[in-house]
Amino acid sequence: MSNPFREDLVSRSRPEPCTVVIFGATGDLTHRKLVPALYNLAVDGELPPGVKILGFARREKSDAEFRTGLEEINRKVSRSGHDAAIWSRFVESIHYHCSEFTDADGYQRLAAKLDDIDRERGGKGNRLFYVASAPEFFDDILENLKGAGLNQAAPGCWARVIVEKPFGTDLATAQHLNQVVNRTFEEKDTYRIDHYLGKETAQNLMVLRFANSIFEPLWNSSHIEQIQITCAENLGMEGGRGGYYDKSGALRDMVQNHLLQLLSLVAMEPPTDLSADGVRDEKVKVLRSLRQWDTPEKVAANVVRAQYTAGHVDGTPVPGYREEDRVDPESMTEAYVALRLMIDTWRWSGVPFYIRMGKRLPKKATEISVHFKQPPGVLFNALPGGVPGSNVLVIRIQPDEGISLRMVSKIPGTSLRLEPVKMDFHYATSFGKSSPEAYERLLLDAMAGDATLFARRDEVEEAWRFIDHIERAWHESGESIPMAEFDAGSWGPKEADELVKADGFTWRRL
């Protein structure tokens, strides 16, 4: 029976017309992700009418030049292809504003421009500020928005801010950024984006767990032996990424945010409702319950860091990490990390969670696998080999989004022989359409004022608390916590295999 008191929380608020101001408008993210996402929303008829886009960046450009650059990339990357007629209507809503991020004057001019846009639209002055510049400008942008009064909305309107990653480089810088953000915008108007939360399969995790009755009773240490989260990438440091990456590394770049967010969704308790805080209250409890690897000994025992050496990916020779463009030849930054995590709650007591993430692995794939315990050792034990493996529920985040369940079955025939089989669900075939890009959903949610799929202040800080101990141990112990190596194009270092082997497991083969 539906609960009449909760309907307001289940039905989604409607995205409202607004002007989206993108800081860092000449960057890759704007061209490859943000504008194509807005375009695809327009194609699907989901973009509220009257949405305007204003790119803010330092480089001198006319509106026309800005639009041409966006079009070139949209043609290549747009999910639904590029329709010239739709684009020509859509592009009318895009403008460019040239200013230094640090120039207070530029923000006064921005304010005047936004007022003009509102007047032309004849609508309300809702504003969505998207901070996607290089991180060293985040503070300046926020302070200058406040200086120009742009953090305040006109009566009946809203002013919201989306802050891109990296949200700090450690706990102290994240806390500082949180202070700056919250001095400028209220927490309810702050949207810390983590695009993994916008991925269709990540959103489906809650549905899988809480809209089906068969999983939740088994979702605990009585039935689950271990859980693995794998995020494999075949790319290395193309396009000058080495400069950023070598200062960050796999742990900060992917684990602190995307992969700990996935972990929270897998491990959290059922929320009391689907409100932003209802869900985030439960996610943050998972992060708070992580056992801290707070000594170099614990880090050495539970975390493996590695770099790739030269090898082959898809048959093409690729350089080793230290030979990559803009990477220090003596770099001690990890391009691969594998961790054992323990969540000290009643539900997960004694269940290891493993996360591994690496660049230059054989393919791009992200998945979560839930490994159930073996059935009791009776009945089929006398068969050669016993029962072949246990049940594994695999949630494929990307590509080929879907869910599969591994079971054991009898091989048809007169003798009793067992073999694992797979029940498989693919989004593409079941729903017959491609999933929207993560940024499409997240931009719409911000326009609708729904922060459920954005990280809250305490989540970001708890995640950094966990990561900081590991970074500190690596930093302080130098090479006494070794940097393992693996051939580019292989599945990671042997040390990562040993990490799970010590608990009696192997990594799932993707």
Applying CB under 6 A, the site for ligand BG6 has a residue count of 5
**CA–CA gap between residue 463 and residue 196 (Å, rounded):** 15
Give the contact letters, 203-242, x = binds to ligand BG6 (CB under 6 A), - = no: ------------------------------x---------
Please tell me whether residue 253 binds ligand BG6 under the rule CB under 6 A: yes
* Shorter beta-carbon distance to ligand BG6: residue 28 or 143: 28
> Do the beta carbons of residue 154 and residue 125 sit within 8 Å?
yes
Distance CA 78, CA 438 (A): 13
Least gap, CB of 360 to ligand BG6 (angstroms): 12
Give the per-residue contact string, 144-183, with ligand BG6 (x = CB under 6 A; - = no): ---------------------x------------------
Q: Are 39 and 90 within 8 A, CB to CB? A: yes
Minimum CB separation from ligand BG6 for residue 9, in Å?
28
Residue listed under structure tokens 């999933």: 435
Helix (H) or strand (E) run with residue 39 in it: helix 35-43
Q: Which residue's CB atom is positioned nearest to ligand BG6?
A: 253
Identify whether 258 is a catalytic site residue: yes
Site for ligand BG6 in 183-202 (CB under 6 A): 195
Give me 347's structure tokens. 């539900």
Minimum CB distance to ligand BG6 smaller for 103 or for 238: 238
Please write down the HEC assignment for all residues of 57-116: ECCCCCHHHHHHHHHHHHHHHCCCCCCHHHHHHHHCCEEEEECCCCCHHHHHHHHHHHHH
Q: How far is the CB of 441 from ligand BG6 (least distance, A)?
A: 13
Minimum distance between the CB of residue 233 and ligand BG6, rounded to whole angstroms?
6
Contacts of 230 by beta carbon, 8 Å cutoff, 6+ apart: 355, 356, 357, 365, 366, 367, 368, 369, 507, 508, 510
* Least spacing, CB of residue 208 vs ligand BG6, in Å: 20
Using the minimum distance from each CB to ligand BG6, give the nearer residue, 247 or 472: 247
Within 471-500, the residues that bind ligand BG6 by CB under 6 A are: none
> Which residues are CB-neighbours of 136 under 8 A, at least 6 positions away?
none
Query: Residues 84-93: contacts with CB within 8 Å, 24+ apart?
Result: 86/39, 86/42, 86/43, 87/39, 89/42, 90/38, 90/39, 90/42, 91/67, 93/51, 93/52, 93/53
Active-site residue among 95, 97, 258, 469? 258
CB of 85 to ligand BG6, least distance (A): 29
Lookup: tokens for 44: 């699907």
Distance of alpha carbon 282 from alpha carbon 163, whole angstroms: 22
114 Cβ contact partners less than 8 Å away, ≥ 6 residues apart:
19, 21, 54, 125, 127, 150
* Sheet with 94-98: strands ordered across: 94-98, 52-57, 19-23, 127-131, 159-163, 190-192
Tell the smallest beta-carbon distance from residue 214 to ligand BG6 (Å): 29
Which residue lies nearer to ligand BG6 by CB, 31 or 67?
Answer: 31
Nearer to ligand BG6, 61 or 195 (CB): 195
Q: How far apart are CA 293 and CA 468, in angstroms?
A: 10
What is the rounded CA–CA span in Å between residue 267 and residue 352?
12
Which residue, 52 or 165, is less far from ligand BG6 as judged by CB?
A: 165
Residue whose CB is less far from ligand BG6, 123 or 249: 249
Smaller CB separation from ligand BG6, 233 or 246: 233
Q: Taking the complex as a whole, how short is the minimal distance between the CB of residue 223 and ligand BG6, in angstroms?
A: 30
Catalytic (active-site) positions: 258
Binding residues for ligand BG6, per CB under 6 A? Answer: 165, 195, 233, 253-254
